[in-house]
Structure formats: C-alpha cells, structure tokens
Amino acid sequence: MKARVYVMLKNGVLDPQGEAVRHALGTLGFDGVQGVRQGKVIELDLADGTSEETIAQMCEKLLANTVIESYRIEVQ
C-alpha cells in the first residue's frame, strides 16, 4: 500500500523559503502573488494493512517537527 504525508509549517511560523519563492516569482514578472507557503510531500510504500495510526506515529517521531509543522496523511 502507498501513503502520502503532506508536511507544512504551521500558520504563524515564518517561512523564509516560501518568501524567497514569492520574491523570485515577482522578479520573473508574475504579479499578484501575495504569499507562498512551501512544504514537503513524503511518499511511503508500506506493507498492506499498515494502519493510519502507525503512519501518524511515524510523522510524530520522525517525518514532521510537530512543534512548527503540521501534517496530513493520504492513504492510497
């Protein structure tokens, strides 16, 4: 089975990479981009029957820094 974990900085946490992307888009002539938040997608190839609870534990222990990041799990 496959799962995707989407990790993003929590609201209120400064996102310097997102700000750099927003600035670069403006420099390239893409007007009207008022904000960018950058995150990551982690694709997992798991044994059949792996529970979403187990995936959440993976996120809590390693895949996301839950102090400043939130995550969303999508099982396929």
Could you tell me the CA-to-CA distances from 76 to 4, 7, 8, 18 in Å, in that order? 8, 17, 20, 28
CA distance 75 to 64: 17
pLDDT at 73: 98
pLDDT at 70: 98
pLDDT at 48: 96
- Domains (ranges, CATH) in the chain? 2-75 (3.30.1280.10)
Per residue in 8-59, pLDDT (tens digit) is 999 999 999 999 999 999 999 999 999 999 999 999 999 999 999 999 999 9
- Global pTM reads 0.87
Could you tell me the CA-to-CA distances from 17 to 35, 38, 42, 65, 67 in Å, in that order? 11, 7, 18, 16, 18
